[in-house]
Structure 1
Amino acid sequence: MTHEAGWAHAPGALRGPSWLREPEDPDALVAHLWSSTAHKVDGVLHVGGAAVADVVAEHNTPAYVLDEADFRARARAFRDAFSAYEVFYAGKAFLCTAVARWVQEEGLSLDICSTGELSVALRAGFDPARIGHHGNNKSVVELRRAIAVGVGRIVVDSLQELERIEMITAETGLRARVMIRVTAGVEAHTHEYIATAHEDQKFGFSITSGDAFEAVRRAEAAPGIDLLGLHSHIGSQIFDSSGFEVAARRVLALHARVSEELGVTMPEMDLGGGFGIAYTTQDDPADPAQLATEMTKIVEHECRALGVPEPRLSIEPGRAIVGPAMCTVYTVGTVKPVRLDGGAVRTYVSVDGGMSDNIRTALYDADYSCTLASRSSAAPPVLSRVVGKHCEAGDIVVKDEFLPGDVAPGDLVAVPGTGAYCRSMASNYNHALRPPVIAVRDGVARVLVRRETEDDLLATDMGDS
């Protein structure tokens, strides 16, 4: 319970969350929070065979460091575990030309949500037939382009969108392959903003209200549309498969109803995904093989109970591929012990980035971990809060973490698990320049996305003309 005089006065306010334990060795990495090649040598963090201190010496901070071998290994793990499925990489998590090529080379399909993401995919030479186009408000221009290039499926989110697709196909003589996004009424155990299958939100057609059946009926009757099947997505950062079981039961029941009442056997179904990753020691994600086994059993059981053939399945792992493959490296600028009423002290470690390169802590109250990355330390650990340089009290990168008590200006701090949504949601708040994405592999670092410059920042500012 919050103390009437404020959070700092509440019992245990500066002890950190219950799951955070003081480490015996603050230099040690918690392995499952980091990419597979991450390790320390004399306290210096190495990723992809490169010392982050060397990467920083060339590219400065803040910087996103992407472990290419780890990314590819995670992509292959999902591809192999879900070998009977089509696996879609979430472009919204992080996308650039090189990553789109990696995704295609590892045999995955690509999920995009905008014409900008489509442009990146096409620039990378990605096969349009392996692209799925999401979005709850696709414009006529976006749909026209998607249909023209031949995207493999458009995930329809409204009757107005169906009307737009019907109009475009009638005008052009082209056909559109679509899936109908449905909401199954499942409350996923995740943050409210990233739970996407409950009734009261913007995505999809409700199964319980009958809107989903009507959308299927309309799509099936449209002369220029090839109806592939139903699409369900219950949210992101999900660890509990029980939500998928309930969703699959409801979506497959609709699938069976369509077959019975409309005489249409839809060939495909997408069960979404949004699988969780480990941001802190409280997170324990399942591996792809376990997820594949559980989800396959769910579908087999429900199809058997309904007496319908199993559709071809697809999934969207979400952040689970790129999230753990990237870390963000910062330089410490100031260290400020703040003395509170009652004698308590909170140590604020300010770094040269913040909510402009990772908005998730402020937006979702997300938890992260971090480590001193540039040297070893024998100092006792101190509960610290890593904060950014922006003009917001909520500009927090890591709410609670034990760092060595001698952390000082000039030290490097690295935050794991920043591959998903950090660069994608980065901004120019306070006119900050968005950091580069540096890929590391076999000891070699190369720039995938360069750091913004002041020229970039001023390029769209038309002055008083």
Structure 2
Amino acid sequence: MATQKEYYEKPVILRHTVGLTNKFGRNPATTPMKMIDGAHISKLIEDHGSPLYVVSEATLRRKYRDLKRAFESRYPTVQISYSFKTNYLSAICATLQDEGAFAEVVSFFEYEIAQRLNYSGQDIIFNGPDKSKEHLEVAVDSGSIINVDSMEEIALLEEIAKEKGKVIEIGIRLNMELNYPPWSRFGFNYENGQAFEAVKRAEINGLLKVVGLMTHAGTYVDDATIYQKMAIKYVEFYQAIHEKLGVTLKNIDIGGGFATINTLHQSWLPGSQTCPSFDDYADAVCPILLAGFARMGVTPPRLFMEPGRALVDEAMHLIATVISAKRLTTGEKGLVVDAGVNLLSSNQWYRYEFAVAQECGTMVENTNVFGNLCMNIDVLRSAVPLPALHRGDRIVVKNVGAYNFSQSLQFIQFRPAIVMVRLNGDVDLIRKREDTDYLLRLEAVPQDLKK
């Protein structure tokens, strides 16, 4: 009877240091993450294959409620509008809709997703620079909130207003000098007077009525004072258009951009230490707005925000399986796993946290984790401390809910299945694993080329 050879790796000399253990006496990198919300990772992979995205319904709802509490305890009327582009999985959008979120969309295909989920038109915010006349007509007929991005869009809406014989309520998107580089390509600049001229232009013919303002500070804004600056400028601008143009606002929108616990590559400290809390953001905005509106003698407009990353990042993880382990010519340890950068596009910005999903011993080594795309740039993370892993072992890339799915693509491999762990512990398949039929269903081969 043939005996199976034991796994062998040529021995190397490694330098070990002290000071990495936690209060329980064990290096956190060696502590396995065997379950997600009570669902065993081994069972999830057995049922749905590897790689696999896993969504936590409990985390998604908790993040929404935490954000809502932070702002509603400081401002009279608050509405959270989930940024669909961040992760437009229908199950995620429907979960946040169930919590009371509006839909914030920047494309018409996202608008149609919201419609199919039975969002009321009045519960959809239509943003973005690319809105056709046809799509604007749908939004106008549905009563959606439209935040105008350009003078050309104002002209389109005036045409629609004339054709429909009605005054259309709109919002104006502002850009402000809040951080560097400023996002001046979107909307109208506050400091140089563009925004004031846009409001004046929109109001001049009596076809449009400005009832809202919207701006967006950026992405992953981990300095809450940026929102203080925004609030101060909002009050100043509202006072100017109220006194000089007679504008009274119904809505004021601070956008999104709230940071999460993921760590930026250029950061010296982990994101868990640098990320402001929802209370920090609310404290930065609400007192300034309320004090300013009180001085003006106006009723505080409804406060909108458009979070994406802050709601979904921590609510989704990626499980991958080790294909091979090898020693690189540099002497460094390398792992190849069955998930590539086509599933983890945001790793160019973040040092994602990796966890092992099984007991692997207590000795760790800095390891380069590569994907399976047969491209040299397919590096999920360099020099991540991990214990010894072998073919078939699982790793978990944590907190990947923002942008990684919505920016994923079929390159060399199909996109994997996605499951949601429900509040009651059930596991629901919310997106099937792709296959060749799915990939080719929109293609056609000219008849003369068919063999």
Common fold by TM > 0.5: yes
Residue segments in structure 2 that go unaligned for 5+ positions in a row: 1-13, 264-268
2:414 equivalent to 1:433 = yes
The TM-score with structure 1 as length reference comes to 0.83
Determine if contact 2:224/2:276 at 8 Å carries over to the other structure. no
Match of 1:274 in 2: 257
> Where do 1:15-54 residues align within 5 Å?
25-26=26-27, 43-54=32-43
1:92-111, CA deviations, whole angstroms, 9 ceiling, x for partnerless residues?
A: 11123322221221112121
State the alpha-carbon separation in 2 of the partners of residues 399 and 316 from structure 1. 33
Aligned partner of 2:335: which letter? Answer: V
State the alpha-carbon separation in 2 of the partners of residues 366 and 44 from structure 1. 20
Match of 2:406 in 1: 424
Distance 1:119 1:215, change over 3 A: same
2:326 equivalent to 1:354 = no
> Where do 1:200-349 residues align within 5 Å?
201-280=184-263, 282-283=270-271, 284=273, 285-303=275-293, 310-340=300-330, 345-349=331-335
State the alpha-carbon separation in 2 of the partners of residues 174 and 324 from structure 1. 44
Determine if contact 1:100/1:126 at 8 Å carries over to the other structure. no
Aligned partner of 2:191: which letter? Answer: T
2:141 equivalent to 1:156 = no
1:94-130, CA deviations, whole angstroms, 9 ceiling, x for partnerless residues?
A: 1233222212211121211111111111111112211
Equivalent in 368, 374, 385 of residue 352 of structure 2: 368
2:56 equivalent to 1:67 = yes
Match of 1:9 in 2: none
Aligned partner of 1:263: which letter? Answer: G
State the alpha-carbon separation in 1 of the partners of residues 159 and 78 from structure 2. 32
State the alpha-carbon separation in 2 of the partners of residues 260 and 398 from structure 1. 54
Q: Which secondary structure state, in structure 1, belongs to the residue aligned with residue 86 of structure 2? A: coil
Of the structure 1 ranges 75-84 and 202-211, higher mean CA displacement relative to structure 2 is found in 75-84
Match of 1:137 in 2: 130
Q: Which secondary structure state, in structure 2, belongs to the residue aligned with residue 278 of structure 1? A: coil
Distance 1:260 1:422, change over 3 A: same
Distance apart, 1:58 and its partner CA: 0.8
Determine if contact 2:147/2:214 at 8 Å carries over to the other structure. yes
2:79 equivalent to 1:98 = no
Determine if contact 1:136/1:202 at 8 Å carries over to the other structure. no
State the alpha-carbon separation in 2 of the partners of residues 86 and 124 from structure 1. 19
Considering only aligned residues, what root-mean-square deviation do their CA atoms show, in Å? 2.4
2:167 equivalent to 1:181 = no
Match of 2:46 in 1: 57
Determine if contact 2:175/2:190 at 8 Å carries over to the other structure. yes
State the alpha-carbon separation in 1 of the partners of residues 189 and 339 from structure 2. 41
Q: Which secondary structure state, in structure 2, belongs to the residue aligned with residue 321 of structure 1? A: helix
Match of 2:4 in 1: none
Match of 1:409 in 2: 391
Determine if contact 1:89/1:110 at 8 Å carries over to the other structure. yes
Distance 1:411 1:224, change over 3 A: farther
State the alpha-carbon separation in 1 of the partners of residues 382 and 29 from structure 2. 19
Structure having the higher Rg: 2
Query: Percent identity of the aligned residues?
Result: 28
Distance apart, 1:346 and its partner CA: 2.2
Determine if contact 1:354/1:388 at 8 Å carries over to the other structure. yes
Q: Which secondary structure state, in structure 2, belongs to the residue aligned with residue 291 of structure 1? A: helix
State the alpha-carbon separation in 2 of the partners of residues 66 and 154 from structure 1. 31
Of the structure 1 ranges 250-259 and 222-231, higher mean CA displacement relative to structure 2 is found in 222-231
Distance 1:353 1:108, change over 3 A: same
Determine if contact 1:332/1:408 at 8 Å carries over to the other structure. yes
1:345-395, CA deviations, whole angstroms, 9 ceiling, x for partnerless residues?
A: 322222112111111123xx322111111x112240111122212243322
Determine if contact 1:101/1:125 at 8 Å carries over to the other structure. no
Residue segments in structure 1 that go unaligned for 5+ positions in a row: 1-13, 30-39, 193-197
Distance 1:184 1:367, change over 3 A: same
Distance apart, 1:447 and its partner CA: 1.1
Match of 2:8 in 1: none
Distance apart, 1:79 and its partner CA: 2.0
1:399-458, CA deviations, whole angstroms, 9 ceiling, x for partnerless residues?
A: 342111x2111111111111110101001223x211222101233111112121110111
State the alpha-carbon separation in 2 of the partners of residues 400 and 216 from structure 1. 52
State the alpha-carbon separation in 2 of the partners of residues 177 and 64 from structure 1. 41
Equivalent in 380, 383, 387 of residue 370 of structure 2: 387
Determine if contact 1:49/1:444 at 8 Å carries over to the other structure. no
1:196-251, CA deviations, whole angstroms, 9 ceiling, x for partnerless residues?
A: xx15x421111122111111112223544332221111111122111111122223
Aligned partner of 2:420: which letter? Answer: A
